[in-house]
Structure formats: C-alpha cells, structure tokens
Structure 1
Amino acid sequence: MDDYRRIADRLADDITAGRLKPGERLPPQRQFARRRGIAGSTAGRVYGELVRRGLVVGEVGRGTFVRAAPAGPAGRALTEQATRAPVNMELNYPSAPGQSELLAPVLEPLLRPDVLAEALLPAAATGTAAAREAVAALLATPGWRPDRAQVLFTGNARQAIAATLASLVRPGGRVGVESLTYPLVKEIAARLGSTLVPLAVDEDGPLPQAITAAHRTAPLSALYLQPTLHNPTSLTMSWDRRREIALTVADLNLPVVEDRIWSFLHPHAPDPLAAHAPALTHVVDSLSKRVAPGLTVGFVVVPPGRRHAVAAAIRSGGWSAGRFALEAAVRLVGSGVVQLLVEAKRADAAERQRLVAQELDGFVVRAHPQLYYAWWELPAPWRADTFTAAAAALGIAVTPGPAFAVDPNRTPDAVRLGLASAAPRDLERALRTLAGVVRKRP
C-alpha cells in the first residue's frame, strides 16, 4: 500500500474513534509534513485522500476540518430523500395549491380504453409529432423558438442531462462547469469517466476568458451551464454575458449543455444561450418542476446534426420517455394547465421568499423573488458541515455548500435552502429556528 494511504488510514481511524473530533482543524499541510517526516507532496495526497473519503472538508483561507456531518454520494443530494427530518429543505418539488384538481380532468380521458391502448405503446426518443409541437411551444421565449424537429424526449431531466453528456464526452474527457454546480452532474460525470473542470465566475456568471483558458490547458469536450436561476446561487446571466459566452464557444467550437429546469420561474429572463449559439447549444428542460416529479418528461432540444447521436445515447441508456407521459404532456400543455401551474408556482415561490426575507433579515442570502431556493452564506465561525449537523439535530434538513462544489478543496461556508417541500407554516418556523442557531456560536 502507498505510504500516503497508510497515513490516511490512521487518521481515518482517529476520526472514527473520536480522537479527532467533528469540526477539529487539521494542521496546515507543511506543518503536518514536518511532524511526520514526510514530503509536502505526500501530505497533500493524505489530505486529498481524506477529502475523497468524505472525512474532512477543505475551506479556502481557513484550513482543513473534520466533517461534522457524514458525506453522502455526490449525486444523492437533491434527488432522493436522504433524511427523515420533519422539515426537509433538501428536496425541492413544488406543488401549487389545487394542483391535483387542475390535473385530474385533463388526464381523465387518458383512461378511456381506446386512448389508453395507444398511450401504453412504446415511444421512441423522438416522441410524437404532437409532443414535439407542444414542447416547442412550451419552451419558446420572445427571441427563441426551438425547431420541433430537434426535440427529443427522456423520462426526466436528469436522464436528459446524462444522455446529452454521454453523446458529447468520451471517457477521460473534460467538461467545463460553474465552480458550484448541480450535484447530480458530479455523479453523471463520474459514471461517464469524465472530469469536471470548475470555471471561474463573477456576479454575472462564468467568465468567457476562464472558458478559453481551461480549453487551452487541455481541450474541453463540452460545457454544462445554468444561465438562468443557477442552482444553488440563483444567479441569472445578463444578455451581454450570454452573448460573450456564445462568441467564445463559437470560436472554440465547444458544445454547450444548457440546463433550464428552473427557468420557467423567471418571467423576464434573457433568451437562452441557444438563441445566441444555436449550432452548439443543447437545451435541457422538463415538466418535473412545472407540474410534478411523478408526472414528468425530460426534453432535449439539440443543434442541427446532433439528433441521431443524442437519440442513440437515450436508447442505449434506457432513458426513453413513456408514451403515457408524452400523451399526458401534450394534453397538459395544450389545455393551458401547465401555464396555470407556472403562474401559481411563481406566486407560491414569491410568498416563500417573503418568509426568507422576513426570517433571515440581516444575513447574506442570495435569492430571486420568485424562486424555490435560497443560498445562505453563513457568518463566521459557522461552517457548512457544522451548521448542517446542528440543523439536523433540530429536525431540519438543508443541503451543505460542499455538495455543489466541484473542487473539494474549495468549498463554500454556505447552505442551500429548498423552499418548496415544507408547508408554509413549517417553513416559517424552520427558518426562524435556523436563524436562531446561526446567532449562537457553534
């Protein structure tokens, strides 16, 4: 066994046995190397191994600390219930008041035997003509309307992301992403054998020069970006930044996967990147947030010449949408119910954001007034893992910032608050409780 792994095993034993306690800071790497009589590079590998095992977390400018909460798989956060906490602010599936009453009469005709027989047939990745037309209309913005012939379907948005990346990135390939990204993309990249490359960002999103620099260091196979209502920070890129990035990827001939899952909540967002770089941008969206996770379909709008490659990836991954779900989507979009739900969820999200502003007044919170999550930058000396553990002890589950960090050695002292799943009264009480926790020292 390599020396660094033996040392990491001993430290891991110390952590498990409680000799190194949660929240305890490890010595700086140079000091650790001197004490152990090892090279600085070996000390770096020891700390890196502990980070990989989820036992410690590195924080820029502060050091390396023993985790106060156990780490789960990177992609599990935000995708499945990881806790039985009474107030779950990890999962984030919005449901509008009266949603079921709106859905039932539209879906009822699907249960007629003649209609049901057709709806139970298998569906190709290309879906049906009616489904392609409905989705093209649903996704259209003032300056962009997708070509219905370029619309493909998957079971959900996560499958759409996976299939699109699988069609673009070979094992060993590199994908440029915002330095904080959707946790499931980290898991998808690991399964594809690709490497995520964090891109420097400012208050307007990824820096075009950072994309160019990363590509010149070693060629990128694709970018995965969330230009509208970025998860977790809620950032929305300006029109100018989108145009700059479009010019950059055109110059590099670099494909883009544009995630627009939450964009429906922003009624005045700029047109998607696809409006600026249609030959390179793959737009991913779904019905899971607009309607419900149990009644969803994923969409991919692909550039010209990419339909067959992405469709092949969908088929090989077993990610095709069900025909029943496609038929339901056509009816829900055509009847206007989806738009009614969008308007209702914007209003619901606005009320929940009002509670955030009320209960977390005085703290640094990034949010959009009609969005179902908020990014809370914790004040010192709180760290993300210690706060997450403290919240869990009170029956409140939140998502720690490191779940979104691409570089495990550069993790933010912040948490993402999912606002959609708790009842409003429970959400208000939970926010008030969390504010009280932060006002005390850890």
Structure 2
Amino acid sequence: MTTDDRDAEASALDAADPLRTYRDRYVGAETPLVYFDGNSLGRPLRVTAERIASFVADEWGGRLIRAWDETWMQLPYTLGDALGAAVLGAGPGQTVVGDSTTVLLYKLVRAALDAQQARDPSRVELVVDTGNFPTDRYVVEGIAAERGGRVRWIEVDRAAGVEAGLLAAAVGPETAVVVLSHVAYRSGYMADGAALTAIARDAGALMLWDLCHSAGSVPVHLDAWGADLAVGCTYKYLGGGPGSPAFAYVAERHQHALTQPIQGWMGTAEVFAMGPEYVPGPGMQRFLSGTPPILAMQPLRDSVAVIAEAGIDAIRAKSIALTQYAASLADELLAPFGVTLASPADPALRGGHLTMSHPAMRAVTARLWDQDVIPDYRDPDGLRIGLAPLSVSFAEVLRGMRAVAEAVRDTT
C-alpha cells in the first residue's frame, strides 16, 4: 500500500468512527504527539480542569467542612455505583472507590482467605499465575506468608494468559482464593471471565478479578459472571489521573461475611460515635479504612460520565477496530524488520493494548519518547501500545506506527 493510500484509509476510518467527536474533549488530543500509553495513564478531559477549579472555589472553599455531610461522605459509594453501572456490570451497593489498588487487593485477598479458612481449615492455597502483574503476585505471596497459606502458581505463556484448562488443573479442595487479571498486562490477553469464575467457584474457591487493564476498555460483567471480588485502578482507561483512587467490588452475598484487615474509623458503623471498639459498618462501608480521597475523585466523576454516555459496547467496538488496524500496520511495516506480535492475533482474545516484540525495543522506546511518540516498554523485549478508544484516532495510530517502523529500522 502506498503512503497516500494509507493516509486515505486512516482518514476514512476516522470519518466513519461514531465516537470521533469524543476525542475533542481530551487535553492534548489536538497536538501532533502520538499517545500509545493510554493503558498506563489516560489523557485528562478538558472539563476536569473546570471541575477542579469549581471544587476548590465552591465545594471546598465555600462549603468547607459542611461538604462532608452534604456530599463527600457518600461519594465513595455514589461514584462506585456509577462506575459499577457504566463499566463493571455491577448492581448498586457492591462497588466502592478509595485506597490504592495494592491496598484494596490486600484487604480483599486477606479477607477472602480468612473467611475461607474459617469455613474449611484445609483451604490454604492462593492461586495466581506467573504472568500476573507484580503487585498481584507480591500481595498474594505476602498474605500466604502472613497467614500460613501457600501459593499455587499457574505457569503461563507470556504472549497469552490463563485459559480454562490451566485454571482447572490448578484448583482443588485446598484452594481458597483465585486471583487473576481479566486482561494480561504484558500481552493484552483477555480471559474468559464467566468460564474461569465458574471453574473457581465449582472448586469451592472465591474468585477475585484484577480489572486494571480492562475497566473502561472492554465490557465487564461481574454480576453475570458470578464473580465474588474485584479490584482495579482508575488512572488507565478510566482517566482518573495519576495516583487516582482504586475501586473494590464485593458481591452482596459476601459483604456481611468478610472482615477486612485494616480497621479504620471510616469503616465503622457509626463513624462519628468515636466508640471504644471497632464495629464494621454495613455493606461496602466495612471495606473503607481512612478518610476518602475526595479531591482525587473529581476527575473520575467526569470520566465515568463520559464512558456512560459513549457506552462501553461502542467503546469496545472501536477498541477492536484500533487494535486490528495497529496489528495490520505492524504486519506490513514492522514484520520485515523481524518484529513479532506478542499478543493474541484474535481480537476477541485481547483487550485494548498490543505488545510487539524485538530485541531492540528498549532502545526503540527511548528514541520514540524523544520524538513525542509515547508507547511503553515491558520485559522481555516488548513495546506495548495502549489505544484509549475515546481519545485516539486512526490517523494517530498510523503516525505512531510509521515512527515505530523508522525507529526499528534505524536501531537494527
């Protein structure tokens, strides 16, 4: 295909994109910079600057401490419900926003393990795969050591992820909790949420999903899957900003039975009673600990609203189109230089990012950053591109992939 033909194709794809106008709502989307890292940190919405300014002047500066009673105390729950409805396939009263992903992982895995062991002392194993995100593996190992448990590792292909046969072989009568990522952080492999949840639950285990690389990019159906627990960050496809608070989902059927290990005043039944002992609050309140990060929640309010407006199914359709387009460009422009796709070829088996493998990719990534083309690098030898559907155009993908091809050519 000629250069002009490629340009015309990208223009036609953008013109036919039903979500194309959303791109104008994001800061920096109008610039020549190519942003291939929306799966690590999403672009901010323009309206968020207005919201933060208004928040400082009105809610914080005007209402001062009165705002806690007026709106802030409920924000972790109302924002959690909005997130659950727009993104997670979760009914109300099951999602709360607050803490970091690591802290929420610790709370829920530890609570789940303790509940399982109270029910059956032989349930001592925590199942996690070797390709899971480091935080997940580290938290699981730490809890196993702390509580006298044992880690059962699933060995996975780093270009893929955990599929049904692997999980079925790993679970059994000693399994307490299974911790898996819905979308693998390296390869983008998207696990079958319903099937794997059923396998874990049939074995008597509790299933916890890490949704960091899927929330806001692909449809998630926690209630329909029968999921027990889930956590996820909000600064990737959810666009909450650097260090924005994470979310936790606990299925309603489990909320009364789980005792989270970080007992703080916000999780008590009567927050301002300042009682002599800890009494956990009802529902998702018991999974809070300290004061909610209200200021840090403000960008997420805008982003969840935009995702709800666009619709997660439409977002997923564009995500597939973008990654398919990038994969076709990789085959045409990069394969001649020995670059291979380290992600599933079938778009139904991957989320919103692709990883391309070549020994020079660390140097290639550094060069691209100097040129305002921003992917990220992941060992071993992987250049990862995360395409946020609401803020990325097909023309941007074409510019970026051309730059990748030039960098690989000049580095090898």
TM-score interval for Structure 1 and Structure 2 normalised by the shorter chain: 0.5 to 0.7
Q: 1:275 aligns with which of 215, 219, 224?
A: 224
Percent identity over paired residues: 13
Aligned equivalents of 1:374 and 1:331: distance in 2? 28
CA deviations on 1:14-72 (whole Å, 9 max, x unpaired) are xxxxxxxxxxxxxxxxxxxxxxxxxxxxxxxxxxxxxxxxxxxxxxxxxxxxxxxxxxx
Query: Which residue of structure 2 lines up, in the alignment, with residue 296 of structure 1?
Result: 244
Consecutive unaligned residues in structure 2, runs of 5 or more:
1-33, 115-122, 266-286
TM-align CA RMSD: 5.0
**Structure 1 position 93, deviation (Å):** 0.6
Alignment correspondent of 2:153? 197
1:213 is aligned to 169
Q: Alpha-carbon deviation of 1:294?
A: 4.2
**Is the 1:398–1:415 contact (alpha carbons within 8 Å) kept by the matching residues of 2?**
yes
Partner of 2:58: 109
2:91 to 118, 133, 146: 146
- How many equivalent pairs are there? 324
For 1:31-42, list aligned pairs within 5 A. Answer: none
Pick aligned residue for 1:312 from 261, 267, 271? 261
Q: How far apart, in 2, do the equivalents of 1:143 and 1:434 lie? A: 34
CA shift, 1:175, in A, is 3.3
Distance change (3 Å), C-alpha of 1:332 and 1:266 = closer
CA distance in 1, matches of 2:365, 2:109: 35
Deviations 1:152-195, CA, capped at 9 Å, x for gaps: 4432333322322233358x964333452223223333444464
Matched, 1:375 2:375: no
Verify the 8 A CA contact 1:177 1:225 in the aligned structure 2: yes
Taking structure 1 as reference, are residues 145 and 190 closer, same or farther at Cα in structure 2, changes over 3 Å only? Answer: closer
Q: Structure 2 length as normaliser, TM-score? A: 0.59
Gap change, CA 1:332 and 1:252, over 3 Å in 2: same
Question: CA 1:389–1:311 in 2, change beyond 3 Å: closer, same or farther?
Answer: same
Distance in 1 (CA, whole Å) between partners of 2:153 and 2:79 is 35
Using the alignment, how far apart are the partners of 1:427 and 1:222 within structure 2? 40
Task: Give the distance between the partners of 1:285 and 1:232, measured in 2 at CA.
Answer: 16
Give ranges in structure 1 of 5+ residues lacking alignment. Answer: 1-85, 403-412
Aligned pair partner of 1:245 in 187, 196, 199: 196
Could you tell which deviates more after superposition, 241-250 or 324-333? Answer: 324-333
Contact 2:40–2:235 under 8 Å retained in 1:
no
1:94-118 Cα distance to aligned partner (Å, 9 max, x none): 114524345346635322432x314
Q: Show the 5 A alignment for 1:14-413.
A: 92-96=40-44, 98-101=46-49, 103-104=51-52, 107=55, 109-114=58-63, 116-119=64-67, 128-129=73-74, 131-140=76-85, 144-148=89-93, 150-169=94-113, 174-192=125-143, 193=145, 195=151, 197-200=153-156, 206-216=162-172, 219-227=174-182, 229-237=183-191, 241-266=192-217, 269=219, 271-272=221-222, 274-278=223-227, 281-289=228-236, 290-294=238-242, 296-303=244-251, 304-306=253-255, 309=258, 311-313=260-262, 315=264, 320=290, 322=292, 324-325=294-295, 328=298, 332=302, 336=305, 339=308, 356-357=326-327, 360-362=330-332, 363=335, 364-365=340-341, 366=343, 373-376=353-356, 378=357, 382-383=358-359, 386-389=360-363, 391-392=365-366, 398-402=376-380
